A and B are shown apart, each in its own frame.
Chain A
Amino acid sequence: MTTTAIARAGRRAPRKGGLLRLEAIQGYLLISPWLIGFFVWTVGPMLFSAVMSFMDWQVLSPPKWTGLRNLEFMLRDQVFVKSLYNTAYYTVFSVPLRLLSAIVAALLLNQATRVMHLYRTFLYMPTVIPTVASVLMWVWIFNPTFGLANIALRALGIPPQMWMLDANLVKPVFVFIEVAHIGTAMVLFLAALQGVPKSLKEAAMIDGANSRRQFWHVVVPMISPVILFNLIMGIISSFQVFTLSYLATNGGPNYASTFLVLYLYKNAFEFLKMGYACVQAWILFIIVLVLTITQLQLSRRWVYYEVDLVGGK
């Protein structure tokens, strides 16, 4: 019997209304802590910020209605445009590079050798180091005078660079730092790789596929859902980059590392332009939502799910 037929049969012979309602109420009661929390702490503040977007609210004084003034200002705010560009730059480079590094690392770690667990620990370790400590460490690594990065360059005969103090280099440095933190994505890829049935690879091998073709035509499709997940999560997290620029450069030099969330934070809590910050937050939300929906739509063309979700066949 198909899923549709079962559903129709179910609808033809409903259980008694009272029992169904009771079950529904019990279900909602059980999830109500989360629901209440979601509406009170997420939806409520979101709606509040939507209203504040039309206000001039300096936090310490009552808000004043200003209509679309915040939005108008945002469209001509050069720093906002720059922060949007910086965030897009960071996302365009860090996300694919991070995915690629994570896949490569996972492939390497998916070997059955004796000390592989040590390599896995080593590669995952940056993820568990507290963020502040990690950022301070990177600031030292990229210190133009004493940092390891310039020591390495000098050893290769390349002149030392200003790194985070250079407006042209600060974003590539941040991308590099992000790519170094591949732990979570790597673990997910590793799990996905280990879930690829050996029988499929063997079948492909029997059919004459070499390692490269096995990888592209068997392994990649099988791990494509995880690629999609890491891609979406990577885009979302890269659009929310904050700690690195706040601690390392405070958005400088000359706004070169001012990202959207950092600029939003400064407007909200340092310049006390909460209404303007709310507009920026909504723009960020819309951008991330559009990108996520786009990725999900495009995923139908390249993501392969082992279970067919349509039609029950």
Chain B
Amino acid sequence: MSQVLSRRRLLRLSGVALAGAALAACQPMPAQQPVDQPATAAPAPAQAEKVELRIAGWYDKGTQAAVEKQIELFAADFPNIQVSVITTPFDPQKTVVMLASGAGPDVFWVNNDQVSFWAERGAVYRLDDLMQSDDFGQLDFIEPVQQDIYTYKGHTYSIVESVAGMHLIVNPLLFEEAGVELPPHDFRDPDWTVDSLLEKAIALTKRSGDGPAEQYGLNVSTGWWGNASFIWSFGGEFMNDSENPTQITFDSPETIDAMTWLSDLRLKHGVVSTVADEQTLPSSAQFTSGKLAMQVTGAWMWPYYSEPEIKARVPWQIFPLPRAAKGQYCQLAGNSYAIAARTKYPEQAWELLKHVTVGEGAKTNFTPEYCKGLPATWTLAKDERLLTWFDEGSKQTAMEAHLMGHWFPKHPNWIEMAFRATQAVQELWVGNMTVQEAVSGAQAVMEGVLAGQ
């Protein structure tokens, strides 16, 4: 008598088979290039072999057009290499998922505070050998950017693409209208301090009655990229060492002073728009509509603010950030390009990377619609085409920003620390928390991350 295959038995067998197949499919990932071991370049394919590369970054419309021009130039020298462009968000999630799934870019943007994030996880190629073979030591990089920001544990993982120190971007028409003197372009001016910045901001703020002001004197973002420069200038620090951070040092009298000064801008002096106001009218819109006299920002805004109709309305200039009690710093923002550790064509990727950072491709950015800061080297930065649309004073500010440069700690979990610290201080900006509570809270959460959670 033939045996009937019961439903229960069939389901059991199917479940075991499919679960086993699912588990078997979950193979451990092939190890990426570990941080402690040197990179070994794969053998180069023949010159004529067609290669496809992908380049990625959080490109806006203008930057994407610039990158496509760079690729056109690159194709003239390397006709066998086809490059496609991928736009990714600023936050690294999409790039992470793409790389993990094996469909990631070969060359991609790495932000100034993300090198350790990628390097520690073995996601980016170590460039030391490639740089040595191409005599990169001869290049006149704008330091301390390449040497200090884009290296990690003694090795280089990306090449700087743009150098962009945070600065003040200013509407001189509002200054003229209010009879207020413009700040100095020379950051060494001893009278250019946070106190004089505040005085100007107060003089440039126009308000009648309660509610939002008709015009604000200043804007400083609540994000760390906006206010870190002031924290450092007041003598505060996030961690004990930017290269090998082992201790959180955020909760200090200096940081308290800095955060007090920053929160007073909104809550006491009213020279900066409230968080609620910025929900409705972001600071960039305030600036372009003539409702904001000074904005702490970076060179990534230059292309947008250089659009003809905006420039005609707001003939902006840039100025250095002021001095505070313990120094005068600006966060060195800007990007770099790295090679994905899993790329199949590291040598070709290296050629592309060189082209867009220190090669002819970098010169594509020497126009108002594409320029987001200084290029990687002084040779490129002194090109006669660069910053011709700036007045001499603004050009001086741009060229000297790196001298005040400071940067975030190179901790592989910095992204998490920064997010948690942002959450911890959020209520400070709306007056629901004291400065000490905010700073202590940020200290505690960053310590939690550092403790290896």
Contacts and interface: CB of A to CB of B under 8 A. Distances in A.
Contacts of B26: 44, 48, 51
A102 B426 CA distance: 36
Interface in B267-303: 274-277, 279-280
Contacts of A39: 14-15, 18-19, 22
Contacts, number: 132
Nearest to B104: A60
Interface residues of B, number: 54
A144 interface: yes
Given A44-B22, A271-B413, A143 B279 contact: yes
B276 A58 contact: no
A39 B21 CA distance: 9
A13 to B, nearest CB: 14
B28 A62 contact: yes
B29 A61 contact: yes
Contacts of B22: 39-40, 43-45, 47-48
Contacts of A60: 32, 96, 99-100, 118, 121-123
Contact of B430 (A25, A58, A253): A253
A20 B1 CA distance: 13
A183 interface: no
A119 interface: no
Contact of B275 (A40, A47, A165): A165
B2 interface: yes
Given A21-B5, A24-B5, A270-B91, A62 B31 contact: yes
Contacts of A18: 2
Contacts of A194: none
Interface string B375-393: 0000000000000000000
A77 B453 contact: yes
Interface in B424-446: 424, 426-427, 430, 432-433, 441
A47 B29 contact: no
Nearest to B22: A44
Interface string A12-55: 00000110110011001000000110011001110110010000
Interface string B201-216: 0000000000110000
A254 B419 CA distance: 11
A61 B32 contact: yes
Contact of B432 (A59, A73, A144, A166): A166
B29 A253 contact: no
A21 B9 CA distance: 12
B312 interface: no
A21 B211 contact: no
A77 B449 CA distance: 11
With a 10 A CB-CB cut-off, give which of B2, B22, B100, B413 has the most chain A CB atoms. B22
Interface residues of A, number: 48
A270 B416 contact: yes
Contacts of A273: 453
Contacts of A25: 5
A228 interface: no
B235 to A, nearest CB: 26
A271 B32 CA distance: 19
Given A143-B276, A145-B274, A59 B96 contact: yes
A297 B97 CA distance: 41
B121 A63 contact: no
A102 B432 CA distance: 36
Contact of B29 (A62, A73, A144, A272): A62
B423 interface: yes
14 contacts: A17-B3, A18-B2, A21-B2, A39-B15, A39-B22, A40-B21, A143-B279, A145-B211, A165-B276, A252-B426, A254-B426, A254-B441, A270-B92, A272-B96
Interface of A: 17-18, 20-21, 24-25, 28, 35-36, 39-40, 43-45, 47-48, 51, 58-63, 73, 77, 79, 139-140, 143-146, 162, 165-167, 251-255, 258, 266, 269-273
